[in-house]
Amino acid sequence: MYRAKKECRYNPTRFQQMLAEYGAVETVKRLIAAAKKSGTVSDGFTTLFLCGRLDLTMEHSVCKERYRPLFSLDEISYCEELLRSSQ
């Protein structure tokens, strides 16, 4: 989050609140479910996309080998497709 704030002037206030309330994995799962349900990406994803820093998105983190065991195949596939279609 520090790099997103410093490099893209993005301060993910709501994301930070959710992290404090639900923890990292549950927050990401909730945000993915909400995005899938609404058919829209988060403001954070859009901001980081416009900044050219998709590598700082939670979706990118979900796709990292070390975090994959924490998420379902459906959640990982959603993130992979979103990142692929945004390039």
Mean pLDDT, the chain, rounded, equals: 93
Task: Provide the token pair at 44.
Answer: 């954070």
Share of the chain above pLDDT 90, in %: 80
Model pTM?
0.90
The C-alpha atoms of residue 25 and residue 8 are separated, in whole angstroms, by: 24
d(C-alpha 26, C-alpha 69), whole Å: 14
Residue 57, pLDDT above cutoff 80: yes
Torsional class of 23: left (φ above 0), alpha (ψ -120 to 50), beta (otherwise): left
- Beta carbons within 10 angstroms of residue 71's beta carbon: 19
Is the pLDDT at 83 greater than 90, yes or no?
yes
Amino acid in the structure at residue 87 = Q
Q: What is the mean pLDDT of residues 10-33?
A: 94
The pLDDT score that the predictor gives to residue 42 is 86
- Write down the domain spans for the chain: 2-85
Tokens of 53: 């820093």
pLDDT tens for 35-56 read 999 999 988 899 999 999 999 9
